Amino acid sequence: MRTSFLFDHPSPCRECGKAAVKRTTTEWFMRDEEKPPYTGNLIVLKEQQRRRILWDGETYIQRYGYFCSLNCTSAYANKMVSTFER
Ligand SMILES: [Zn+2]
């Protein structure tokens, strides 16, 4: 079951307000010297010794649906139960 949601903006966690993070992909290389210059159409966010972090410039992700963490999902769910089951 897919629990992460994708957004076209940094959608805030509904519990704590933390913004969704950029959905990135990482390229790994055996040696830094073997890393070819990037020629694709993604944005290079970071170049580190043996890896390159890429972003499409528009996709953000919250790992747990509308929430940043399982703690936030359960906190929100418990508030809902308290609100609606009184
Ligand atoms: Zn949160």
Residue extents of the structural domains in the chain: 5-84
Residue 77 has pLDDT above 80, yes or no: yes
Partner residues linked to 54 by β-bridges: 25, 44
CA 69 / ligand 1 centre spacing (Å): 6
Which residues, in sequence order, are bridge partners of residue 21? Answer: 61
Calculate how far, in angstroms, residue 43's C-alpha sits from the geometric centre of ligand 1: 27
Give pLDDT tens digits for 29-60. Answer: 998 788 899 999 999 999 998 999 999 999 99
* Predicted local distance difference test score (pLDDT) of residue 1: 65
- Ligand 1 centroid to Cα of residue 12, in Å, is 8
Residues 64 and 70: their CA atoms lie apart, in Å, by: 7
Ligand 1 ion: nearby residues, β-carbon < 5 Å? 13, 15-16, 18, 68, 72
